[in-house]
Structure 1
Amino acid sequence: MSLENVDNNEEKFYTNAVNYWSEIPATIDGMLGGFGFISQTDIKGSKMLLNQLFNSKDPPEKHYALDCGAGIGRISKFLLTETFEKVDMVEQNEDFLQQAKQYLGPKVDKIGNFYPEGLQNFQPETGKYDVIWIQWVLGHLTNADLIQFLISCGKGLKKNGVIVIKENVTSSDEIEKDEQDSSITRPLRHYHTIFQKAKLECYRQLKQQNFPKGLFPVYMFILRPSGDILNEMSHENNLVKLENVHDNCKKDNVICETIIQHDSDLKDKNATSSDIVEFKNSTNNDENKINIESLLKFDDSMKTSLDNQ
């Protein structure tokens, strides 16, 4: 199967996968297609990768991770909650997420959000995650949806954040399709093409060791946004911060006409602080003054950021 043919019959491709997983038991063996016995080896390899990552130059922080295609929470339980303060889980099968709340045990307290959604429709919150972990699920996405999903994941990262992908790859240079679970297995070459289209740089690539013979080779990729996407993300994050300040002012019942104009001007890269100084001085509410101070302070850094782009 060629790279271009993966997107054919998209609706059937997704529907068949949903139907397949609806019949799978919410157990480790079910999540791993009857190979539950490899779980410990898999987690050991993933921990080794994370250790290398956190010992590298400019590592991510350990505050928030996202588990994509989380199933009943195997990776969240044995890997991500062991490392991160908080973890979100996204999984399209709601029964799996319900089982996860039991399966995780006391570690469920470290789960921030359960998102019952397919990755083809999911967009991570901008600038939220230190690590986005994606394992054994990308074979259920068409190429077009995979590229868009990875782009949105790049925007979901915090400073120094990374995307970790762990997936089967074919031994040949061809895509192989599994009609039973409606998934595809891509070769390494295709993954690198997709990473490039998603404006991601492959920071590290490592092969999982000690899996049984007869299984697909499994590779782990650490991805970081390329320089171009980082500039776009910086600009978008600055605008998000501005919108947050604007929303806080509205919540405090501040008269916001000047701030709304200020918001528009910033987006046109022509903003100054002078147009809101008079407004700042005109209010006697201390809390409102704090919000205006925040906006004034943000103005200078925002203008600098925009001027440099």
Structure 2
Amino acid sequence: METLSVDENASNEKIKDAIKAQETPEFYSDAQKYWDNIPATNDGMLGGFAHISKLDVGGSDTFLKLIFKMKNPPGHSRAVDCGAGIGRITKHLLSRHFGKVDIVEQCQNFVDQAKEALKGHKKVGEFYCQGLQDFNPPSDTYDVVWSQWVLGHLTDSHLEDFFRRMGAALKPNGVIVVKENVSSSGEVELDEEDSSVTRPEKLLLQIMDQAGLRVLKNTKQNKMPNGLYEVRMICLRPKSADSSNGTTV
């Protein structure tokens, strides 16, 4: 794994070169090849850490309940699970809180497994087999856009674009929820095996700000096993929304 600094004193040219390297066609095609060869199981989705699934869902459930207690909270009508894999989050979390949940996943074998696992589930809506860099839902569609452990597969520029599109797709009082690993070194860590990056929290928040989003809540996922990245759960709303809709935590 190669690490590239994003500290204020780091070389701007080095950062630009890193971003340029991410924006080659191989950045996405290599990720596609990697995930196409991963088993469509919880263990495959969680990199061999299937045992943390209950802990992960429990932390997310608590966070989502806090969001619903905010002033001017999102509704419970429709959510979208971005980078849904085999539908683990849809099945165990989002379907408990929303009338309909759409699924976005670029790997066809994961989509097929999600359809099988969720067959007959009345709360499952549309399946979109595409990368998040291409996902562009209509405006006024979702109460909550949920993305988890997937945004490292987007380049910085595509991530900013994704946030802008998702902000535009929200219903009134809607929010975007991001659950992602963050690096503790202040550096962008590039994983050549799965063609992804792990960003420091500072950079992730910077991209969100540039996309016109403001943070309503920002919480750490607790009790994760030692040796894993810190996981942040961040709730966002477009800055254009009424500033009284939530408070930063």
Give the conservation status (yes or no) of the 8 Å contact 1:7–1:144: no
- Answer whether contact 1:90 1:116 (CA < 8 A) is retained: yes
Q: Distance in 2 between matches of 1:105 and 1:92?
A: 19
Tell me the secondary structure at the aligned position of residue 175 of structure 1. strand
Give SS of 2:103's match. strand
* 1:16 to 2:30 alignment: yes
Aligned partner of 1:190 in structure 2 is 203
Contact 2:118 2:124 in 1 (8 A): no
| Partners of 2:110 and 2:185 in 1: CA distance | 33
Please state if 1:130 is matched with 2:116: no
Higher strand share: 2
How far apart, CA to CA, are the structure 2 residues paired with 1:69 and 1:10? 21
**More helix per residue: 1 or 2?**
1
Residue 179 (structure 1) aligned to one of 185, 192, 210: 192
Counterpart of 2:213 (choices 182, 200, 204) is: 200
**What does 1:39-54 align with in structure 2 at a 5 Å threshold?**
39-54=53-68
Cα shift at 1:118: 0.3
Q: 1:89 aligns with which of 95, 98, 103?
A: 103
* Residue identity matched to 1:186: R
Structure 1 CA distance for aligned equivalents of residues 128 and 20 of structure 2: 25
Q: Identify the range of structure 1 (98-107 vs 9-18) with the bigger mean alpha-carbon deviation.
A: 98-107
Q: Does 1:65 align with 2:79?
A: yes
Counterpart of 2:44 in structure 1 is 30
SS at 2:93 equivalent: helix
Give how far 1:111 is off: 1.4
Quote the residue 2:235 is aligned against. Answer: 222
Is 1:99 paired with 2:113? yes
How far 1:156 sits from its partner (Å)? 0.4
* Cα pair 2:106 2:131 within 8 Å, conserved: yes
Structure with more contact order per residue of length (Cα contacts < 8 Å, sep ≥ 6): 2
CA distance in 2, matches of 1:112, 1:105: 11
The runs of 5 or more residues in structure 2 that have no matched partner are 7-14, 243-249
Q: CA deviation at 1:105?
A: 4.4
SS where residue 145 of structure 2 aligns? Answer: strand
Q: Which has the larger radius of gyration?
A: 1
Tell me if 1:110 matches 2:117.
Answer: no
Q: 1:125, 1:136 → 2: CA distance? A: 24
* 1:141 Cα deviation after fit: 0.2
Partner of residue 211, structure 1: 224
Cα distance in 2, alignment partners of residues 13 and 111 from structure 1: 31
Instruction: State the SS of the aligned residue for 1:171.
Output: coil
Gaps of 5+ in 1: 232-309
CA offset at residue 106 of structure 1?
3.9
Q: How many angstroms apart in 1 are the aligned matches of 2:33 and 2:27? A: 10
Note the C-alpha offset of 1:91. Answer: 0.3
Length, aligned pairs only: 228
Deviation sequence 1:213-247 (CA, Å, 0-9, x none): 000000000000002xx59xxxxxxxxxxxxxxxx
Residue 6 of structure 1: how far off its partner (Å): 2.6
Cα offset for 1:124?
1.9
Taking only the aligned residue pairs, the percentage that are identical comes to 49
TM-score normalised by length of structure 2: 0.89
Q: CA RMSD in A?
A: 1.2
Distance 1:45 1:7, change over 3 A: farther
Q: Secondary structure of 1:127's partner?
A: coil
Runs of 4+ in 1 over 3 A off after TM superposition: none
Distance 1:70 1:7, change over 3 A: farther
Per the alignment, residue 263 of structure 1 pairs with none
